[in-house]
């Protein structure tokens, strides 16, 4: 009886560990799909749904097995160990040579989900001899769900930030391997295929050890193949994947696979973002920068005399630390983030604006492109209304606004949304060689000037007193003018205002023609 009770406890403990590993596997595969294939919301939806469906398939398959259930459970755990551990290596390996990495990840998700679904009813049936039905089922499901919570916390706070996509899958494999190994050796007299299971134990142990030794070179190779230039820095943070590449004497910074800047031409992005707003504002003593954790926008802000304080709000502390300490970034931003006038706040931009009680002369928004639903709240009418309330009279807000060429509907939507938040708006654009045609929208908190007047004032401003590499009066005049088919009333009328309840900007952005550049 004691031996039987011990089996029941061990199997439930195994399900706790498997629930933990299973939920982490779902998160790992979803994150991999989002990073390697893009469109995070779609990838997370597909991977999670596919794994849950596969668990149903696995549950159905388990009914076909009637004998040697303990042996089958241990073999299933060994198989799950191998599949979980190798998932990232396979995904990156395929990514090096194929554009269909997402299909491999979906296949991995289906296989892992099937095995997880297979073993839950298996444990229930093994334990059926030791507990009555109501206790058995509730106990099995309870441990699995508790394990899922533990796995989610482990992924968010330990695995992803500290182990990244290289070693987190191997950790999952190790968890399943230890579970299977503990049950095998604790109840070795009860299993029938002793030699097969012992050989499997040894084989998986060797495999995991070799994988731990060689996973990083494989993943780095797959990472390198994703970028045309040499990867010189890579880090997975709880919020994003940061990659830096180098070509000759120039560096590129990518977040989640999207280019943030290149030292080859970054001034053609950061100077238009910063200097028009600084020149128009009634007072620029206090400046707020939302996003821009690389410090390049802050660098431009600090060129203006009279700047007393700059508040830099970026969600990811790893990014602002990199801007402070990495030799390339700190050189490019000229030590801006270390300037005593700069205060760094690591927080979501919308959350910061909701609790902040300060007023600013200039607010600059340098957030990632609106390519996922979770970013819609910082591109919404409500968000721009918050910015309006945090500006002094005559204060100016400027934001990057995607591309008026590659995503014209998204650009028009942002113009219309900022206007709806109470700003007279001033859209402008520039050609950035490494990024293509890019756009910005500027808004002023004032009732004394309309949009035509705002444009006329901006065209009269000069930049001769600022140390710039690109922008001057002629460049500004050029950036303020658009050709046909961009801002005409019939095109503006065809787009809607972006709100948190109706995030149309997401669809407008995805409908762009990014692939042609």
pLDDT tens string, the chain, 517 residues long: the values are 444 446 767 777 887 887 888 888 888 888 888 877 777 778 888 999 999 999 999 999 999 998 898 999 999 999 999 998 998 888 888 877 777 888 999 999 999 999 999 988 888 888 776 666 677 788 878 888 888 898 889 888 888 878 887 788 888 889 889 988 988 998 899 899 999 999 999 999 999 999 998 888 877 777 787 788 999 998 888 888 899 999 999 999 999 888 899 999 999 999 999 999 999 999 999 999 999 999 999 999 999 999 999 999 999 999 999 999 999 999 999 999 999 999 999 999 999 999 999 999 999 999 999 888 888 999 999 999 999 999 999 999 999 999 999 999 999 999 999 999 999 999 999 999 999 999 999 999 999 999 999 999 999 999 999 999 999 999 999 999 999 999 999 999 999 999 999 999 999 998 888 654 4
- Burial of 115 from C-beta contacts in 10 A (0-12 / 13-18 / 19+): buried
As a whole number of angstroms, the distance between CA 317 and CA 322 comes to 8
Output the CA angle 457-463-468, nearest 5 degrees.
140
- In angstroms, the Cα distances linking 287 to 274, 278, 313 are 10, 9, 11
Give the model's pLDDT for residue 2. Answer: 42
Q: What is the pLDDT of residue 1?
A: 40
Residue 445, Cβ density class (10 Å: 0-12 exposed, 13-18 middle, ≥19 buried): buried
Indicate the DSSP class of residue 116: H
Which helix (H) or strand (E) segment holds residue 391: the answer is strand 391-400
Q: In what order do the strands lie in the sheet with 250-255?
A: 230-236, 241-247, 250-255, 258-262
Residue 407 backbone phi and psi in degrees, to 5: -135, 65
DSSP 8-state class, residue 367 = P
Q: 307-341 burial, b if ≥16 CB within 10 A, otherwise e?
A: beebbbbbbbbbbbbbbbebeebbebbbbbbebee
pLDDT at 148: 87
Task: Spell out the residues 6+ positions from residue 220 whose beta carbon is closer than 8 angstroms to its own.
Answer: 231, 234
| Closest by Cα among 192, 185, 179, 190 to 79 | 179
Look at strands 286-291 and 360-366 and give their pairing.
Answer: parallel
Q: Which of 302, 278, 282 is nearest to 392 (CA)?
A: 282
Residue-level pLDDT at 517: 44
Q: At what angle do helices 408-420 and 381-389 cross, to 10 degrees?
A: 50
Whole-number pLDDT of residue 8: 66
Task: State residue 401's pLDDT score.
Answer: 96
- Count helices and strands in the chain by DSSP H and E runs: 18, 11
Token pair for 175: 């968890």
Active site (annotated) includes residue 450: no
Written as six digits, the tokens of 80 are 């799950």
Measured distance CA(76)–CA(192) in Å, rounded: 15
How many beta carbons lie within 10 A of that of residue 130, not counting itself? 17
Which pair of structure tokens corresponds to residue 39? 């469109």
Q: How far apart are CA 50 and CA 120, in angstroms?
A: 17
Total Cβ atoms within 10 A of residue 133: 9
Q: How far is CA 194 from CA 11, 73, 218, 334, 351, in A?
A: 19, 13, 34, 65, 58
- Token pair, residue 194, equals 């002793």
Q: What is the pLDDT of residue 282?
A: 95
Q: Which of 71, 144, 286, 366 is catalytic?
A: 366
Q: How many CA atoms lie within 13 A of 55 on its CB side?
A: 17
- The radius of gyration computed from the CA coordinates of the chain, to the nearest angstrom, equals 27
Which residues are within 8 A (CB) of 334 and not within 5 positions of it... i.e. 6 or more apart? 299
Contact (Cβ atoms closer than 8 angstroms) between residue 147 and residue 15:
yes
For the beta carbon of residue 485, count every other beta carbon within 10 angstroms: 11
Q: How many residues does the chain have?
A: 517
- CA atoms within 13 A of residue 57's CA, in its CB half-sphere: 13
pTM over 0.95: no
Rounded to an integer, what distance in angstroms lies between the CA atom of residue 139 and that of residue 137? 5
Q: In angstroms, rounded to a whole number, what is the distance separating the alpha carbons of residues 251 and 237? A: 20
Task: Say what the pLDDT of residue 144 is.
Answer: 83
């Amino acid at each position: 009886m004691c031996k039987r009770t011990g089996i029941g406890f061990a199997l439930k403990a195994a399900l706790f560990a498997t629930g933990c590993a299973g939920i982490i596997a779902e998160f790992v595969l979803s994150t991999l799909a989002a990073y390697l294939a893009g469109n995070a919301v779609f990838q997370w939806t597909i991977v999670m749904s596919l794994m849950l469906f596969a668990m149903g398939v696995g549950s159905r398959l388990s009914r076909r097995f009637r004998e040697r259930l303990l042996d089958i459970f241990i073999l299933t755990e060994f198989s799950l160990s191998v599949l979980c551990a190798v998932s990232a290596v396979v995904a990156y390996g395929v990514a090096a040579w194929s554009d269909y990495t997402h299909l491999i990840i979906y296949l991995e998700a289906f296989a892992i989900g099937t095995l997880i679904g297979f073993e839950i009813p298996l444990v229930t049936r093994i334990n059926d001899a030791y507990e009555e039905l109501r206790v058995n089922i509730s106990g099995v499901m309870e441990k699995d769900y508790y394990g899922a919570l533990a796995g989610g916390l482990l992924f968010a706070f330990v695995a992803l930030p500290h182990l990244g996509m290289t070693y987190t899958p191997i950790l999952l494999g190790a968890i399943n391997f230890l579970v299977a190994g503990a049950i095998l050796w604790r109840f070795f007299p009860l299993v029938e295929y002793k030699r097969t299971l012992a050989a499997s134990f040894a084989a998986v142990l060797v495999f995991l050890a070799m994988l731990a030794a060689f996973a990083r070179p494989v993943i780095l190779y797959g990472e390198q193949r994703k970028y045309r230039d040499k990867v010189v820095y890579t880090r997975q943070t709880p919020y994003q994947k940061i990659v830096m590449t180098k070509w000759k004497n120039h560096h590129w910074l990518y977040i989640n696979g999207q280019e943030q800047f290149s030292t080859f031409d970054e001034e053609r992005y950061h100077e238009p973002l910063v200097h028009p707003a600084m020149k128009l504002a009634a007072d620029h003593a206090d400046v707020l920068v939302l996003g821009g954790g690389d410090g390049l926008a802050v660098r431009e802000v600090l060129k203006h005399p009279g700047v007393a304080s700059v508040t830099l709000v970026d969600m990811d502390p790893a990014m602002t630390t990199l801007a402070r300490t990495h030799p390339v970034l700190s050189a490019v931003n000229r030590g801006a983030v270390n300037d005593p006038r700069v205060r760094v706040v690591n927080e979501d931009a919308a959350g910061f604006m909701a609790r902040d009680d300060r007023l600013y002369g200039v607010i600059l928004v340098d957030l990632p492109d609106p390519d996922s639903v979770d970013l819609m709240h910082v591109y919404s009418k409500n968000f721009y209304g918050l910015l309006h309330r945090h500006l002094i009279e005559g204060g100016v807000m400027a934001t990057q606004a995607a591309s008026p060429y590659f995503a014209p509907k998204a650009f028009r939507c942002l113009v219309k949304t900022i206007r709806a938040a109470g700003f007279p708006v001033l859209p402008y654009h520039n050609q950035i060689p490494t990024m293509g045609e890019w756009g910005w929208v500027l808004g002023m908190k004032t009732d004394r000037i309309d949009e035509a007047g705002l444009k006329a004032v901006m065209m009269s401003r000069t930049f001769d007193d600022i140390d710039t590499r690109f922008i001057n009066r002629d460049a500004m005049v050029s950036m303020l003018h658009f050709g046909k088919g961009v801002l005409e009333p019939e095109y503006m009328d065809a787009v809607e205002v972006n709100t948190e309840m109706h995030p149309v900007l997401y669809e407008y952005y995805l409908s762009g023609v990014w692939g042609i550049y």
